[in-house]
Amino acid sequence: MARPRLISDDTILDATRQVLAEFGPAKLTLVAVGVRVGLASPTLLQRFGSKRGLLLASAARSPQLVLLAVAAAEARYSSPLAALRDFALSSVAYHREEFGFAHWDLADEEFRAHALAHSAAVIDSCARLLAAAQRAGELKPDVDVPALARLTLVCFTGALQVWAVNGWGARTDFLSAQLDSLLSPYLTKANDASALDQPRPRGV
């Protein structure tokens, strides 16, 4: 009978993303990830087969992390727009450059498939929140929700890349300002961009 795993795959994959974010893909090693979770590198090899297998498993988890982040944002805020903004400023909403996957997403078909799934999860989540905001009267009734959801993903990824090059202020402040600029033309008068700066938590 196989011994039960005391450290879950999800814990290992979370550690992998942390190491990627801190050191980049070139410096990521099985030893570094193993140290982070308290496992020997042969154990990681047994579970994931190789460094590539570990990275692919981490990339494959991106859509799940998007859904978890959206659910957490919705639990914090009753306003769909506030939940969207909260989700937008979470790291999992950023494009996968945040975790060093960009090169593989372009050059490797397996990684690209996971990148497409990540983008689809972000777009679908944004579309759902934007549709809820429209029903709640926060967005104008004539807004093309699917198109705005795609623009929101473009805003996430483009703003992150621009900030990484130019370093204009704090990252969260810069991303927040770009999102507000994107959404402002589509908001009803009662929900202008300034209202997004102080979203109302649930129960308040």
Tokens found for residue 108 = 């490797």
Return all residues near 87 (Cβ < 8 A) that are at least 6 apart: 69, 70, 73, 93, 125, 126, 129
- At residue 198 the predicted structure's pLDDT band, cuts being 50, 70 and 90, is very low
Tokens found for residue 9 = 């795959």
Tens of pLDDT, residue by residue over 51-70, are 999 989 988 998 998 999 99
Question: Average pLDDT for residues 196-202, to the nearest whole number?
Answer: 50
Residue 11: how many CB atoms within 10 A of its CB? 15
In the chain, CATH 1.10.10.60 covers: 9-59
In the chain, CATH 1.10.357.10 covers: 61-196
Tens of pLDDT, residue by residue over 75-112, are 999 999 999 999 988 765 554 545 556 556 567 888 88
Please give the Cα distance from 138 to 81 (Å, whole number). Answer: 7
More confident residue, 18 or 146: 146
Tokens found for residue 55 = 């990275």
Q: What distance, in Å, lies between the first and last C-alpha atoms of the chain?
A: 52
- What's the pLDDT at 157? 83
Task: Tell me the CATH class for 61-196.
Answer: mainly alpha
- What's the pLDDT at 94? 52
Return all residues near 80 (Cβ < 8 A) that are at least 6 apart: 129, 130, 132, 133, 136, 138
More confident residue, 180 or 192: 180
Torsion of CA 195, 198, 201, 204, to 10 degrees: -80
Indicate the burial class of 80 (C-beta count within 10 angstroms; 0-12, 13-18, 19 or more). Answer: buried
Please give the Cα distance from 4 to 14 (Å, whole number). Answer: 20
Q: Angle at Cα 54 formed by Cα 51 and Cα 59, nearest 5°?
A: 125
Q: Name the CATH superfamily for 9-59.
A: Homeodomain-like (1.10.10.60)
